[in-house]
């Protein structure tokens, strides 16, 4: 009995020590991220061009527009900017299927991978790079095998490798092609997940302005907009993507735990995302007088989506697999 109590007590001590280390790591990373943000003065990118037509076609997200398409807790959207086809992230492939849900949805939607020239990774989390194995290996996959991406340029916000794609590390705001840019990585401390550096895609549409496209929105909507306003001269027309507001529900669960409500919030696990925070972000976005809002269900709950629909009636677009958003 005494031995069992000693073992149990030792285990509890190690658990508390581990949790304390995670809290300390989070705090140190948060301080570093705050210092980086305060110290960094991004260079202005002027006259980086524009495009005539932009279509965002979700290939992987939580909801799909019809039953023949597969929804999952991951992100992959095809960005068609004039003649440039950009794949933003590659989904999660949680069941390690081959072909993956991404490749099957592409086939259903008649999307030819050979016509995609660019792969833009918002950040290297498992639900954006094709699974946990890809995240651990610091690479990206479209399915379980190594798909030939030799025709593609891979833009990453943190060091990654790929056996066939040309890898370009983005460490600051940068024009990728005429009318399309990365606003550069923005750091944020995530409990249990370390420091994340996420980049958003920026597309300048002639006669409209900038469309900001964010994979998860770990940076925070205010910083995404502040960075864009600091880097570009053009007005911001719209925002499409994730904002990570799992207020009432978590799409991703592991061992029954609501992962998105506990991790990836930029807070400690017991500090939840609140309804008031969503309302504050909505008020912030309303102040920008945008012409387009579309929020991903990947990392936001139905309460959040419904709130955005009501508050942005007339300019809100549904973000579902197979449903194009055209500007």
Q: What are the tens digits of pLDDT across the range 102-125?
A: 999 999 999 999 999 999 999 999
Indicate the Cα dihedral angle 189, 191, 195, 201, nearest 10°. Answer: -70
CATH classification of 40-326, choosing from 1.10.540.10, 3.30.413.10, 3.60.15.10, 1.10.760.10? 3.60.15.10
Identify the residue whose tokens are 């529900």: 249
When pLDDT is cut at 50, 70 and 90, the band that residue 4 belongs to is low
pLDDT in tens, 242-283: 999 999 999 988 888 888 988 889 999 999 999 999 999 999
**8 pLDDT more than 90:** no
| Structural domain boundaries in the chain | 40-326
C-alpha 35 chain-centroid distance: 23
pLDDT in tens, 120-157: 999 999 999 999 999 999 999 999 988 899 999 999 99
* Residue partners of 289: CB distance under 8 A and separation at least 6: none
Query: Between the CA of residue 224 and those of 57, 156, 234, 243, 276, what are the distances in Å?
Result: 21, 17, 15, 10, 20
> Could you tell me if residue 217 is left (phi over 0), alpha (psi between -120 and 50 degrees) or otherwise beta?
left
* Stated pTM of the model: 0.95
Q: How many CB atoms lie within 10 A of CB 313?
A: 8
Helix (H/G/I), strand (E/B), else coil: 82: coil
Q: Which residues pair with 226 in a beta bridge?
A: none
Mean pLDDT of the chain: 94
Identify the residue whose tokens are 């955005």: 308
Contact 299, 264 (CB under 8 A): yes
Instruction: Report, as an integer, the average pLDDT of 84-100.
Output: 96
Contact 242, 196 (CB under 8 A): no
* Residue partners of 70: CB distance under 8 A and separation at least 6: 60, 64, 101, 104, 105, 321
* Residue partners of 267: CB distance under 8 A and separation at least 6: 191, 273
Structure tokens at 222: 């205010």
């Amino acid at each position: 009995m005494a031995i069992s109590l000693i073992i149990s007590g030792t285990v509890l001590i190690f658990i508390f020590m581990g949790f304390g280390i995670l809290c300390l790591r989070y705090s140190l990373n948060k301080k570093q991220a705050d210092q980086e943000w305060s110290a960094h003065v991004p260079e202005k990118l002027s006259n980086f061009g524009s495009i005539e037509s932009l279509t965002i076609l979700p290939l992987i997200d939580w909801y799909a527009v019809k039953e023949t398409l597969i929804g999952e807790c991951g992100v992959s959207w095809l960005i068609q900017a004039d003649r440039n086809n950009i794949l933003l992230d590659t989904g999660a492939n949680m069941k390690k299927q081959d072909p993956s849900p991404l490749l099957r949805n592409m086939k259903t939607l008649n999307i030819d991978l050979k016509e995609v020239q660019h792969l833009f990774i918002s950040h290297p989390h498992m639900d954006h790079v094709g699974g946990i194995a890809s995240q651990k290996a610091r690479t990206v996959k479209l399915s379980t095998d190594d798909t030939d991406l030799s025709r593609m340029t891979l833009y990453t916000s943190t060091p990654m490798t790929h056996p066939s794609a040309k890898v370009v590390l983005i460490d600051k705001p940068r024009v990728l092609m005429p009318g399309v840019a990365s606003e550069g990585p923005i750091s944020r401390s995530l409990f249990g997940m370390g420091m994340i550096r996420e980049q958003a895609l920026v597309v300048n549409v002639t006669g409209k302005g900038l469309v900001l496209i964010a994979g998860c929105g770990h940076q925070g909507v205010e910083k995404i907009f502040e960075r864009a306003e600091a880097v570009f001269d053009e007005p911001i027309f719209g925002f499409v993507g994730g904002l990570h507001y799992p207020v009432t529900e978590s799409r991703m669960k592991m061992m029954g735990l609501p992962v998105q409500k506990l991790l990836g919030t930029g807070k400690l696990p017991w500090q939840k995302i609140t309804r008031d925070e969503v309302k504050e972000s909505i008020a912030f976005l309303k102040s920008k007088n945008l012409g387009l809002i579309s929020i991903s269900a990947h990392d936001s709950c139905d309460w959040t989506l419904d709130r955005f629909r009501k508050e942005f009636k007339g300019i809100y677009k549904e973000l579902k697999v197979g449903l194009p958003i055209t500007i």
